[in-house]
Structure 1
């Protein structure tokens, strides 16, 4: 099952309520048109490739690696990609469309951002224009600056390698909340969860690297606080 097919199935299922108590039941049970998701993802991915002004073959290849479109209507989707990558104008509309659909499932929105990072890094570097694009998409998705720094740390080597940045938490967090934050982040990035969300192999491989960084950061904080074992409830 493809990535966006799983997105449609996910939002139409009641498991959405697991991550957001405030979801509108009518929205959560609404049957989503796959083409709507395809167009939003194509639009964001194509405009990501255009963000620095030049669309490279490696970026196009990276897009299709991550956001594999369904075989039905593939020619039309390819044409849509070619049209969307002519300019970055209108990317915010696509981002808002996904943000509205998945406001109660931030893990899926993070999967999308991970995919966009994959496209941005395809030609070997993330330019300031590309970083600005990623930041603006994250803002529309509802991620805080701290959360974006955590996501960024999974793709770009942090300058200071601050373990709190890698976990996306404040240094003054309590020991109990530290444990809760680690469990939440680790759960969202667990390979089984990614597979269930339909994340492609490229994202799953990236998740392995992110989990290694998350575990290392958590271990460093535990060591700094003199906590040599997981905290008790």
Structure 2
């Protein structure tokens, strides 16, 4: 069954006047993880678009890119987006419910943050409101500050990405510790690992850019050190 067919079924089950955010209290079992992940990224993207006051064609295109949405499935994605924008519940409430939905699955929350960064940078501009939004979501998700900085350095082209930030380690870390962090990230980025923790097949392409970034960071660090 297409994930979009399942999403349409989930949305159809909402009672009249029921908020989209109520779904995050239901979709906690492993078979529903892919559906939950997809709805979470689109819903928070809608809240983020509302935060900076604009919904651009680039942002909508970015969501299509993350999930490889076919033309026949666009209506379902648009409905999730619009329901989230219309919901009076704030983004912090959404973020808390999503964290509860993925309780104990920190890697999945980081995957979700990566999707949000992809959407935020779709128009080539990183708005201060988007930075504040993403930083607060990361705090609610329990994403460590170092990991958030690593994500931001990979996506926001305001400087050359610091390889240590990309790998989430300090610049004075021993080389074996840096290598350990790099190997962990490579393992967590493998498509099989992502699918196992609930990232839908349609969004696994997010790992392609991540793998390039973390391998380049390791190469830069290892080439410049001899310890």
TM norm structure 1: 0.70
- Residue of structure 1 equivalent to 2:132: 132
Tell me, which stretches of 5 or more residues in structure 2 are unaligned? 7-27
- Residue of structure 2 equivalent to 1:117: 117
Q: Does residue 94 of structure 1 match 2:109?
A: no
Work out the CA distance in 2 between the residues paired with 1:34 and 1:108.
10
- Residue of structure 2 equivalent to 1:15: none
- Over the aligned positions, Cα root-mean-square deviation in angstroms equals 3.6
SS in 2 for 1:54: coil
SS in 2 for 1:178: helix
- Residue of structure 2 equivalent to 1:218: 218
Shift of the alpha carbon at 1:125? Answer: 1.3
Going from structure 1 to structure 2, the CA distance change for 1:188 and 1:143 (only over 3 Å counts) comes to same
Q: In the alignment, is the contact (CA less than 8 A) between 1:67 and 1:115 conserved in 2?
A: no
Q: In the alignment, is the contact (CA less than 8 A) between 2:96 and 2:141 conserved in 1?
A: yes
Q: In the alignment, is the contact (CA less than 8 A) between 2:191 and 2:207 conserved in 1?
A: yes
TM norm structure 2: 0.71
- Residue of structure 1 equivalent to 2:169: 169
Going from structure 1 to structure 2, the CA distance change for 1:50 and 1:199 (only over 3 Å counts) comes to farther
Tell me, which stretches of 5 or more residues in structure 1 are unaligned? 6-27, 228-233
Q: In the alignment, is the contact (CA less than 8 A) between 1:150 and 1:166 conserved in 2?
A: yes
Q: Does residue 104 of structure 1 match 2:104?
A: yes
SS in 1 for 2:155: coil
Work out the CA distance in 1 between the residues paired with 2:38 and 2:140.
18
Task: Indicate the structure with greater helix content.
Answer: 2
Q: In the alignment, is the contact (CA less than 8 A) between 1:2 and 1:68 conserved in 2?
A: no
SS in 2 for 1:176: helix
SS in 2 for 1:220: helix
Structure-to-structure mapping, 1:17-36, within 5 angstroms:
none
- Residue of structure 1 equivalent to 2:62: 62
Going from structure 1 to structure 2, the CA distance change for 1:36 and 1:175 (only over 3 Å counts) comes to closer
Q: Deviations along 1:40-82, whole A, 9 cap, x unmatched?
A: 4442121122221111122123224435789xx9867644422
* Matched residue count: 203
Going from structure 1 to structure 2, the CA distance change for 1:217 and 1:50 (only over 3 Å counts) comes to same
